[in-house]
Amino acid sequence: MTDAKLLKWVPSPELPERPASLIDLNWQAGHQRLIATVTYATDRSEGDASAILIFEGAFSFAVFEENMDLIGEHSVFVPLETPYPYSGSWPYLEVLQSTWVEKLTHEGGAWTPSHFRHFVITSRNGHVHIACLQQCEPTCVISID
């Protein structure tokens, strides 16, 4: 992925500046919809927080545990603006010129990479990669207790 570029993606300006701890997925194949519930790391001074992201037009997703990633092509670490206890990184990323999307479209044959966007949600326990249609603008719902 020599030409790929990893960008910090901010689905909503209200998201807490914390690493994610867990990601739960709900795949609705009949609608090509992926719903990701992201639970944030917390310490005793902070309330619980979570975000629900809805990806309409999702065509593929891949899940990797924390020590593996998509063919080791790129680092999914984007530091937080303020260091967090026990480390962590910003959980939302977008990959431009993704070789994963190139491989998906090459295998499918009916699409080109320009039809898709490649998003990454990363946590302390794993990474989720999502390929969705170019016009996809994921919806974000936030809950902070």
- Spatial CB neighbours of 2, under 8 Å, sequence gap ≥ 6: none
DSSP string, 26-54: EEEGGGTEEEEEEEEP--TTS--EEEEEE
pLDDT of residue 1: 43
Give the integer Cα–Cα distance in Å for 48 and 65: 23
Cβ(34)–Cβ(61) below 8 Å? yes
What pTM did the predictor assign? 0.86
pLDDT per residue of the chain (145 residues) written in tens, 0 to 9: 457 788 899 999 888 888 888 899 999 999 999 999 998 877 555 667 789 999 999 999 999 877 666 645 456 667 777 777 666 788 999 999 888 899 888 876 778 889 999 999 988 888 899 999 999 999 998 876 6
